[in-house]
Amino acid sequence: MIIKPVIDGVVARSAHPLGCEQAVLNQIEYVKASQPITNGPKRVLIIGGSSGFGLASRIALTFGAQADTISVSFEKKPSEKGTGSAGFYNDYYFKRHAKRAGRVAVNIHGDAFSQQIKDDVVEAIETYFEGEVDLVIYSVASGMRPKAESGQFWRSAIKPIGQPVSGTTLVLENDQWHNSTLEPATEEEAEATRKVMGGEDWEAWIDALINSESVAKGCKTIAFSYIGPEITHPIYLDGTLGRAKIDLHQTSHALNLKLANFDGGAYATVCKALVTKASVFIPGLTPYIIALYKVMKEKGTHEGCIEQMQRLFSSKLYGGEQVPVDGERLIRMDDWELDPETQARVKQLLDEINSDNFMQLGDYQGFKHEFLNLNGFDIDGVDYSSKIDTDKFIK
């Protein structure tokens, strides 16, 4: 069959296998041409390694530091009903190219929140890594988390806290500017969001690894966060997402004390705003992103996932004697985004952008291009008119 992009609102319903492979290969080539990661980890566990920062981390460390990796992901497999998710193909093709490069690449498919998957990972560490890991990356992006043994779920809610907030979503399905108002979250919704997106499961993973004696001397762990400029705070930092991220930051301090016993450390890593499968849902954030992309591309400071992760590992986490952090012990990969000159120009653009001119004034085309790329579409070098044997992937 010929696979075409299918977008429902801001959700991709199809993925292109060969496009996903080319996207992985493009990231591999970027890493090979970049500054090597010196003194980097050799045995890496990535919890959520099939897309976004998790996948970019896996590629950067495999091809920039010659690391072996185990990745946990929960992706939709192809079937007679659909193509499956992009993350499924990312896992599939990453493993193929890592093995060709002589690296160990283990894919474990299942719910990262479950105890069974934690047990499976410990077993894989014993089998493939001689029992220990040097780095644990927590990059889980999920909208819900099961409650142990009850059959029920905590579900995250992207909402403000205290007051309603109005914002704009850019609807990718029909390139429309859509205004909406979000009512404030209940305390129950805010707490559920913290349970899903905070640091509790990250800590559970590290505890499981410590208890199974799977932590190597000098082991580090990181999780990804976002803070953003003041203009995004009402819907992000001051809302349910922000509460979850603050919990994540606090968890990093607790984990840092635990890993100090192994001469290691734990860090929350604050990244730049990007087009992700999650960020396109957040009202008010997408106009900011198209303005930010416009300005940072003009200044030559724009970074995608792979550029940020390559810089993180080569110049920050493994770049010297000490890991550079701010006053709250955060690794700041958003330093270029929050540059005062950049933010002043972004604010000026946001004052001018509206429903009639957002395609001209902002980088909407770049925004949509990156969204399509996440799902294997709009990538140079891929023949999208060729038929794909989907039965091969189903088998």
Helix ranges restricted to H, 168-239: 187-197, 200-211
Structure letter (DSSP) for residue 131: T
What pLDDT is recorded for position 235? 87
Residues of each annotated binding site:
48-53, 74-75, 111-112, 140-141, 226, 245, 274-276
Helix ranges restricted to H, the chain: 17-32, 52-64, 86-100, 115-128, 187-197, 200-211, 240-260, 285-299, 305-311, 340-352, 358-361, 364-374, 390-394
> Which of 286, 305, 193, 180 minimizes the C-alpha distance to 232?
286
What pLDDT is recorded for position 214? 98
> Which of 212, 214, 81 minimizes the C-alpha distance to 135?
214
Give the number of other Cβ atoms within 10 Å of residue 299's Cβ. 13
Catalytic residue, from 89, 92, 138, 236: name it.
236
What pLDDT is recorded for position 28? 98
Beta bridge partners of 206: none
All domains of the chain, ordered by start, with CATH? 14-143+159-164+191-278+302-335+371-379 (3.40.50.720)
Q: CA 84, 86, 91 angle in degrees (round to 5)?
A: 105
pLDDT band, residue 298 (cuts 50/70/90): very high
> Which H/E stretch holds residue 363?
none
What pLDDT is recorded for position 283? 81
Residues of each annotated binding site for NAD(+):
48-53, 74-75, 111-112, 140-141, 245, 274-276
Residues of each annotated binding site for substrate:
226
Q: Is 236 a catalytic residue?
A: yes
> Which of 273, 395, 248 minimizes the C-alpha distance to 343?
273
* pLDDT tens for each residue of 229-258: 999 999 899 999 999 999 999 999 999 999
pLDDT band, residue 1 (cuts 50/70/90): confident
pLDDT band, residue 51 (cuts 50/70/90): very high
> Which of 376, 385, 378 minimizes the C-alpha distance to 17?
376
* pLDDT tens for each residue of 60-92: 999 999 999 999 999 999 888 888 999 999 999
- The C-alpha atoms of residue 46 and residue 98 are separated, in whole angstroms, by 15
What pLDDT is recorded for position 123? 98
Beta bridge partners of 178: 169
* Crossing angle of helices 17-32 and 52-64, rounded to 10°: 50
